[in-house]
Structure 1
Amino acid sequence: MNQVLDLVGIFVFALSGALVGVRRRLDVVGMAVLASMTALGGGILRDLILNVQPTAFSSVGYVLTPLAATVIVFFWHPQVERVMPVVNVFDAAGLGLFCAVGTEKAMDHGLSPLHAVLLGVTTAVGGGVLRDMLAGQIPTLLYDRQFYAVPAMLGSAAMAVLYILDLHGWPATLAAAVLAFGLRIAAVRFRLQAPLARGVTGQE
């Protein structure tokens, strides 16, 4: 079940990466690279920091899923753009799942709660940072206009607290993931943004 949820998250992250490739007028190879980095980059960074074999290399499905998303966007990107509100819901679910799983895995490997939270956030948003850098854009993490990193941070913190309370397994992971998911959906619904420095104004 965990692997199925993992692949769903990878798929929707890959869709967003491939769409960035279309908007940047990249060819199919560039689209595939952005899709793969968006979907797998955060998990690979996490596993390299933990000095374990990256989960992305443990199954063919982890490689084929971003490629399948690339093919879909390559042929039907106008249709994918139209259903992006639905995709964004799954993207929020992937964000919640990845931050919770990343934090739990870090705690399992003996990291402190603070470091585990940071690694959980890295798992959730690291792929997006790599995507933006490869696409020649300022990473959205640096200005969080879509209030993306904060829900991941709070979801990771919740997972760390539950772990400290000796609440492990899928119920704890699901609870932390639902928290991050709910905050992300609320941010989209109410157009929440992280604050700028005092006296600084911003535009969408």
Structure 2
Amino acid sequence: MSSRILVIEDEARIADFLVRGLREEGYQVEHAADGPSGWVALQHGTWDLVLFDWWLPGEDGISLLRRFRAKDRKTPVLFLTARDGVGERVEGLDAGADDYLCKPFAFEELLARVRALLRRPEQSTSLALDYGDIHADLGSQRASRDGSPLDLTAKEFSLLCLFLRYPGKVLSRTRIFDAVWNEQYDGLSNTLEVHVKELRRKLEAFGPRVIQTRRGRGYVLDASGSDEA
């Protein structure tokens, strides 16, 4: 059975573009044009993915998302908005969005993000991930080590959660880029290395190194191992 997607969008032109395009890709799609009708659909439907617009008549998307997350912590949510400031992105993610796409956007990019969200392990029933003294709460998007909160960016949190889902398994740079950045690794960018270095720094403020380098293969979450780099 194809995935069920709810689109909550008040701009008729964009809504029609999204609904028609996603249906042509084989998804089952329903549309709500404002906050109140969106809330009804969220309460009475079973969805594999929800697309939220920020500005909605009746109730804005942030408020609607917070209410939804109080009841449902696991359904993936993609936020669509013309607001592209860092503060707005952080607010959307903190409210419970799993990903963020700024208007205008290419439909191909939307499809790539939809596919990535639909295949994410977050769709499991677990709301938390743990490894040793490291804890990540998927609902609140917060993490801690040895009881001390970790001040992580959204990407660092996603990176940590990926490692926590596959302890002891070497993850290639290609796989990490696909899961965290929704992009193909080009072999040239040092973005991943910078994020791993910063995540390590924050984790190691409260304990020994747990993210190990495996030369030529990638990274692994292994408290008993050591770097090969």
Normalising by structure 1, report the TM-score. 0.28
Return the structure number with greater helix share: 1
TM-score w.r.t. length of structure 2: 0.26
Higher Rg of the two aligned structures: 2
* Higher RCO structure, 1 or 2 (CA under 8 Å, sep 6+): 1
